[in-house]
Amino acid sequence: MPESLPAWGDREIHRFTVRLALFKRRGLDAERAERLADRLAARDQLRDDRRCCAECGHVQPARGNYDAGCFSARQGWLGPGVDKRLIPIPDLLQRCPQFVPWKP
């Protein structure tokens, strides 16, 4: 990563705050959520096109006896050989063909 990135403006601060709240709602502890939101802010400034499951609209929260999972995997959209019970890795940056941005 470069030594220094440009200072954040209002837009970057707002995006960080929204991401932080989302990641906490999705079960990340405060410290991990903050580290991830900060990492994604740097990713955006570097124009890195990788995404993480924590910011994807296909991630489904755990409810009752139903474990958290990836809707795309459950539908078989990730292709043959991908387990339909795929458990998302919240902070792994990757290129997923089924990524859709989470919308508030």
Name the nearest CA neighbour of 91 among 12, 30, 23: 23
User: How far is Cα of residue 64 from the mean position of the Cα atoms in its chain?
Assistant: 23
pLDDT score of 45 more than 90: yes
Mean pLDDT over 12-28 rounds to 92
- Mean residue pLDDT of the chain comes to 88
Q: What predicted TM-score, i.e. pTM, was given to this entire model?
A: 0.82
pLDDT score of 47 more than 80: yes
Predicted pLDDT at 61: 75
User: How far is Cα of residue 60 from the mean position of the Cα atoms in its chain?
Assistant: 12
pLDDT score of 2 more than 80: no
